[in-house]
Chain A
């Protein structure tokens, strides 16, 4: 199994500012995934982050709004830029197990933009 730590667990931010969310994994993993969960909704994949290359973004998500860093095999960050109230969501980090049979998720970062 993989243990994932996300920071911060929650934050309240002013519109127009940016927040960087950190994701730390207790083992080396090839790919890390970032999801968004809007209030009352299911999870939506934002992007896939590989170490040493640019992240791959899903339709509807762009690098300027959600820049991602992946400096090593155990760490990644997601920045939510120029925030608006519509960005209020839970943001979750995820990795695949070593056998690629199951995904592990962090506890999420609950973001409120006011």
Chain B
């Protein structure tokens, strides 16, 4: 799986949009970009994923650059409950991984702190 690079930590004011960057310059054409977050003392939680098109769901938006070498997770209206470590993970689609799911390779992530 391709390696990802994220800032160690970020601050964001409550109510503002939180924009979390991720670099994945060695991503291959068959690899998806996934985002998870881990709130303190909890297991990781899936947020969103995408291949090349921008994606949006009820939690966040994912913007992937045209060359797919970087992406940005956007939390449109951050709340205090969004304080967590956010992980950007690149992985193959199941059809390209021999038919079975692989475990996730977690980097260090970004510790997002939402300030009141």
List residues of chain A with CB under 8 Å of any chain B CB: 4, 30-31, 33, 35, 42-45, 48, 58, 92, 94, 96, 100-108
The A-B contact count (CB < 8 A) is 49
B103 with A94: CB separation less than 8 A: yes
Which residues of the partner chain B approach A4 to less than 8 Å between Cβ atoms?
Answer: 43
Cα distance A43–B104 when bound, in Å?
Answer: 9
Given contacts A31-B100, A45-B105, contact A102 B46 (CB under 8 A): yes
**B49 contacts the other chain (CB 8 A):** yes
Looking at the assembled complex, report how far the CB atom of A88 sits from the nearest CB atom of chain B, in whole angstroms.
15
Which one of B13-21, B23-31, B67-75, B106-114 is at the interface?
A: B106-114
- Given pairs A42-B107, A102-B34, 11 additional interface contacts (CB within 8 A): A33-B103, A43-B44, A43-B104, A92-B44, A100-B101, A101-B49, A102-B49, A103-B36, A103-B104, A108-B42, A108-B43
Looking at the assembled complex, report how far the CB atom of A35 sits from the nearest CB atom of chain B, in whole angstroms.
7
Which residues of the partner chain A approach B43 to less than 8 Å between Cβ atoms?
Answer: 4, 92, 94, 105-108
Cα distance A44–B107 when bound, in Å?
Answer: 9
Q: List 11 A-B contacts (CB under 8 A).
A: A30-B101, A33-B104, A42-B107, A43-B104, A45-B103, A48-B103, A94-B43, A100-B94, A102-B34, A103-B104, A106-B43
Residue of B nearest to A110 (CB): B41
